[in-house]
Amino acid sequence: MQDFLEFKTISKGYPGVQALADISFGVRKGAVHGLMGENGAGKSTLIRLLSGDQSADTGEIVIGGTVQHYRSVRDAFDAGVIVIHQELQLVPELSVAENLWLGRFPGKAGVIDRRKLLDVVRQKLVEIGIDVDPAAKVATLSLGARQMVEIAKAIMADARVIALDEPTSSLSSRESEILFALIDRLRAQGVVILYVSHRLDEIFRLCDSMTVLRDGKLAAHHPQMTDITRDQIISEMVGREISNIWGWRGREFGPERLKVERISGAKLGHPASFSVRQGQILGFFGLVGAGRSELMRLVYGADNRAQGSVLVDGTAVRADSPSHSIRSGIVLCPEDRKFDGIVQGRSIEENMTLSSRRHFSPFGITQPKKEAELAETFIAKLRVRTPSRKQDIINLSGGNQQKVILGRWLSEQGVKVLIIDEPTRGIDVGAKSEIYEILYDLAAQGMAIVVLSSELPEVMGITDHIMVMCQGRIVADFERDEFDERRILAAALPDITSVSELPSEQVQQQ
């Protein structure tokens, strides 16, 4: 069968970086095609070229036998191409319906018929199987719900080619199942799906074929998924064997460093208490919506506390702002890097020195030399892959953006407690190992680390102790020698007392 989507000798370079070099492969009509590779391998660049956001230096993109000559994203849209980026492209202050029907509102003489708009979108969402209120403002939705709105937007546009970039990174297991059903429906309709993910179980479950990129080059192309192993794909991605991605190692713990006593707030009604010792990595596990992020926002001072206290080395921390937490030694790497972590449009250097600048820039007088030296130090130390510290941070891969946020806090003086929410969301297997090594090194230096993750293998693989949350409560905790996947998952599931009550396939999906 002839390929419906073809990339022919695609090359793209940026100053100091050859992002893609002679990439050629094709995808059949009605196929789900996996696109894999480490962060920085060239996947995002290829997707940007497909979307019309950028142009290739050389090569052609062919859709349905026609060579595409994009001048803009609109040209790609008109050709039937929809790209759903990992960093979502929604307008937060508009409603779900307005986002889904943007540019084609029903009405006359410039007056929008809002009732008709809501009715049309509500019907479409029911047909698709996505349970989201069309009148709700996007800014009020959870990250997972926003992701589902993006997916609905692509389906409602009658696309011929859809590229999904880490689509399940913010979805609950139920939402993921809805997505997989939608993908199966689109496949049956002949739509080409380009599926970018670091989750190998999803690749094997969904994909008919796959391509692996490494360092901007074609590392492997598999027209069929038969006889491909997980180890083979990992080896193709990283160019080396990774036998133990987690790399956990035991260490001695010091005295209690962080103590949280009966803390609660508007978004977390049930009081929560826990503590972390020097050198300890404490994991918080729970399904999407369990309350992990809400709890840590209270600890960090990002949300107001209704009651409770936070102590660092026995000293109470003021509850009214993150700035007081930072000065007390508590820092937070948020779940949503794009909206809460990085400053878009600013350089790596500016993002990395954002907090520590106050130590060497009294009275607001900047010291460019010191900022440059600090940025260069942590770019090297954390192995941030970039041609220059002046590079706009938005051009970095997710893993490298996470390293920059870590560098920001490591350059801050006196950090005692690091809270990191979904540390490797949307990050490839090689970069995951590097970030875990950074966390182990910080723990070995006496820092107390709190890791929030919805990926059970991750939280079991890298932490010393696990606390489980469900429906806004801490419901269980496990020492490392008590780690058991079934027991931890059972604690995380609402109204389920034992995983044995679930069908085996649902256990694996969760």
Of the candidates 502, 498, 501, 500, which has an alpha carbon nearest to the alpha carbon of residue 490?
A: 498
Residues 316 and 220 in one domain: no
- Using CB atoms within 10 Å of the CB of residue 392, give its burial: 0 to 12 exposed, 13 to 18 middle, 19+ buried: middle
Instruction: Please say which residue of 367, 395, 413 terminates a domain.
Output: 413
The pLDDT assigned to 504 comes to 37
Helical segments of 213-365, H only: 230-238, 292-300, 322-328, 348-352, 357-360
Q: Residue 241 is which amino acid?
A: E
Residues 292 and 355 in one domain: no
DSSP 317: P
What would you report as the CA-atom Rg of the chain, rounded to the nearest whole angstrom?
23
What CATH number is given to the structural domain containing 475?
3.40.50.300
Residues 59 and 133 in one domain: yes
Residues 431 and 375 in one domain: no
**Domain-located, residue 247:** no
The whole domain housing 374 covers 344-413
**Domain-located, residue 147:** yes
For residues 52 and 70, the answer to whether their CB atoms sit within 8 Å is yes
- The residues facing 445 across adjacent strands are none
**Domain-located, residue 244:** no
Instruction: Please say which residue of 386, 413, 440 terminates a domain.
Output: 413
The pLDDT assigned to 426 comes to 66
**Domain-located, residue 105:** yes
Residues 162 and 151 in one domain: yes
**Domain-located, residue 334:** no
> Number of helices and strands (H, E) in the chain?
18, 22
DSSP 228: -
Cut 0.75: pTM above it: no
Residues 26 and 82 in one domain: yes
The pLDDT assigned to 103 comes to 63
Residues 194 and 50 in one domain: yes
Residues 325 and 456 in one domain: yes
| Domain total in the chain | 3
The string of DSSP codes covering 397-419 is -HHHHHHHHHHHHHTSTT--EEE
The structure tokens listed for 467 are 């606390």
Residues 75 and 126 in one domain: yes
Cα–Cα distance for residue pair 448/154, rounded to 1 Å: 43
Of the candidates 332, 310, 312, 333, which has an alpha carbon nearest to the alpha carbon of residue 320?
A: 310
**Domain-located, residue 245:** no
Q: Edge-to-edge strand order for the sheet containing 473-479?
A: 330-333, 417-421, 448-453, 281-285, 465-470, 473-479
Going 336 to 337 to 341 to 344, the CA torsion angle's sign is: negative
Residues 397 and 439 in one domain: no
Cα–Cα distance for residue pair 172/144, rounded to 1 Å: 7
Low-confidence ranges of the chain (pLDDT < 50): 496-510
For residues 393 and 346, the answer to whether their CB atoms sit within 8 Å is yes
**Domain-located, residue 481:** yes
The pLDDT assigned to 162 comes to 94
Cα–Cα distance for residue pair 409/349, rounded to 1 Å: 13
Residue matched to tokens 């990174």: 169
Instruction: Please say which residue of 238, 268, 303 terminates a domain.
Output: 238
The pLDDT assigned to 500 comes to 39
Residues 300 and 312 in one domain: yes
Q: Report the run of H or E that residue 211 belongs to, with start and end.
A: strand 209-214
Residues 419 and 472 in one domain: yes
**Domain-located, residue 392:** yes
The pLDDT assigned to 330 comes to 93
Strands (DSSP E) contained in 106-199 are 107-108, 111-112, 161-165, 192-196
Residue matched to tokens 């069908």: 503
